[in-house]
Amino acid sequence: METEAPNKQRKIIHIDMDAFYASVEQRDNPIYMGKPIVVGGLPEGRGGVVATSSYEARKFGIRSAMSSKRAQQLCPQVIFVRPRFEVYKQVSNQIREIFSRYTDLIEPLSLDEAYLDVTDDKLQIGSAIEIAKQIKLAIKTELKLTASAGISVNKFVAKIASDINKPDGLTFIGPSKVESFIENLPVEKFHGVGKVTAEKMKKMDLHKGSDLKKLTEDELVRHFGKAGYFYYKIVRGIDDREVEPHRETKSVGAEDTFQEDLTTLDEMVIEIELIAKLVHKRLQKYNLKGRTITLKIKYSDFKQITRNHSFTNTIGDLETITETARQLLESTDTTNVKIRLLGISVSNFGELNPKRREHYEEATQLKLF
Ligand code: DCP
Ligand code: MG
């Protein structure tokens, strides 16, 4: 590592709140404390899904993005709680204020997680471990919530580390441990490797970092496309991505992977309407409008296509999003196809109001409430 890093070794912390929405609900409603709860849609409602669940509920196998019906089957006594996004947003601002006591290099990835570069921290504490401890303590005493921290020399390792000792964890992967840590990392834990890629890797007998390391850059790119360049570097512990405090939102979107492939136009249109609603809700939440609407379709053979349409003016209303996505869908062959995934995103926002220039990660999972 030392040889390829002429600059000073960086100190990166990744913080991720534990069972975020559920912990906030348990904090604010003491009757939920110590109980299995699900924040999300009701099991009676069509398409209700779990946004998150308390750790007590996870013992029963309940997970994010699972249908609320399934969650109820797994744990009949589970309590369903409606989400209160405004409160989560407020807590998110409070944790960011705590981070800002130590550094201005904060890159939020979502409401509950962020990267911090504390190489030169404001209070000249120097030790990233000590800073992470102080942040966790402030979150606990001031907000009555817990967070987990990962500390390392780059974003990739810090992010994976924060997940290792959840909840209330603190994991430090020092410079001399980075390479062996990645070599032993199962491929599905690699940030950016989704289920499909992980399966593909396993079929190729690639199970952990050290297996990926045996492939040349060309081979990785041949099999995994552009991501191959990233994998090549990352398995060697090289991740120079900066913590970007002002990264702007490039697109707002939602997508859904179906348990059973869609084969009829009617089914596809129903899904388009659901996904469009969600995209619309997110645009409203962040007060955004865009000029371009993109539809993504993934077929059962994993082939993926995108179709987009751009307007001269920015749009953000539900009807336009739904209609445009539907027309884009109809511009493709919808007969004799099996669709595994549909996604809609809105991009090309134009000048953002600087006051709202916050970063929101492009959402990739369908969250229906
Ligand atoms: N979320 C959601 N739908 C998902 C995943 C997450 O609505 N499919 C929301 C609810 C979570 C929040 O985002 O509380 C943060 O997501 P995390 O993945 O960090 O999950 P949690 O914080 O709930 O749990 P963990 O302790 O595993 O971080
Ligand atoms: Mg979390």
Q: Residue 257 CA: which ligand is closest?
A: 1
Residue nearest to atom 12 of ligand 1 (CA): 20
CA 36 to CA 314: how far, in whole Å? Answer: 43
Q: How far is the CA of 8 from the centre of ligand 1 (A)?
A: 34
Q: Which atom of ligand 1 is nearest to the CA of 17?
A: 22
236 and 157 Cβ atoms separated by less than 8 Å: no
Angle at the Cα of 327 (from 323 to 332), degrees rounded to 5?
A: 150
Q: How far is the CA of 183 from the centre of ligand 2 (A)?
A: 25
pLDDT-derived band at 284, boundaries 50, 70, 90 = confident
Residues tagged active-site: 113
Q: Which of 64, 113, 255 to mutate to test the pocket of ligand 1 (most atoms within 8 A of CB)?
A: 64
Cβ(16) to ligand 1 under 6 A?
yes
How many residues in the chain?
369
291 and 313 Cβ atoms separated by less than 8 Å: yes
SS3 at position 341: strand
Tell which residue, 28, 110, 98, has the closest CA to residue 64.
110
Cβ(112) to ligand 1 under 6 A?
yes
Which CATH number is associated with domain 182-234?
A: 1.10.150.20
Cβ(256) to ligand 1 under 6 A?
no
CA 320 to CA 293: how far, in whole Å? Answer: 9
Burial 272-285 (b: 16+ CB within 10 A, else e): bebbbbbbbbbbee
pLDDT-derived band at 6, boundaries 50, 70, 90 = low
Residue nearest to atom 1 of ligand 1 (CA): 51
Q: Residue 147: beta bridge partners?
A: 17
Q: How far is the CA of 113 from the centre of ligand 2 (A)?
A: 7
Which CATH number is correct for 1-173, 3.40.50.360, 3.30.160.270, 3.40.50.300, 3.30.70.270?
3.30.70.270
Greater confidence (159 vs 367) lies with 159
Residue nearest to atom 20 of ligand 1 (CA): 19
CA 58 to CA 40: how far, in whole Å? Answer: 14
Instruction: Establish whether domains 182-234 and 251-365 are of one fold.
Output: no
40 and 83 Cβ atoms separated by less than 8 Å: yes
For residue 168, is pLDDT > 60?
A: yes
CA 344 to CA 122: how far, in whole Å? Answer: 41
pLDDT at position 300? 87
- Residue 232 phi, psi dihedral angles, 5° rounding: -60, -45
State which amino acid sits at residue 240: D
CA 321 to CA 313: how far, in whole Å? Answer: 13
Q: Residue 166 CA: which ligand is closest?
A: 1
Computed over every residue of the chain, the mean pLDDT equals 89
pLDDT at position 225? 85
pLDDT-derived band at 12, boundaries 50, 70, 90 = very high
Residue nearest to atom 26 of ligand 1 (CA): 18
**Whether the model pTM is above 0.95:** no
Cβ(52) to ligand 1 under 6 A?
yes
Cβ(115) to ligand 1 under 6 A?
no
Tell which residue, 314, 179, 190, 307, has the closest CA to residue 238.
179
pLDDT at position 365? 34
Domain ranges of the chain: 1-173, 182-234, 251-365
Q: How far is the CA of 254 from the centre of ligand 2 (A)?
A: 19
pLDDT tens digits for 60-117?
999 998 999 999 999 999 999 999 988 998 999 999 999 999 999 999 888 899 999 9
Q: Which atom of ligand 1 is nearest to the CA of 166?
A: 26
CA 142 to CA 188: how far, in whole Å? Answer: 35
pLDDT at position 177? 95
Cβ(365) to ligand 1 under 6 A?
yes
Cβ(25) to ligand 1 under 6 A?
no
Q: How far is the CA of 299 from the centre of ligand 1 (A)?
A: 27
State which amino acid sits at residue 264: T
Residue nearest to atom 24 of ligand 1 (CA): 19
Please give the CATH topology (third level) of the domain spanning 251-365: Dna Ligase; domain 1 (3.30.1490)
Q: How far is the CA of 334 from the centre of ligand 1 (A)?
A: 34
Tell which residue, 259, 252, 344, has the closest CA to residue 290.
252
Dihedral sign (CA 109, 111, 113, 118): positive
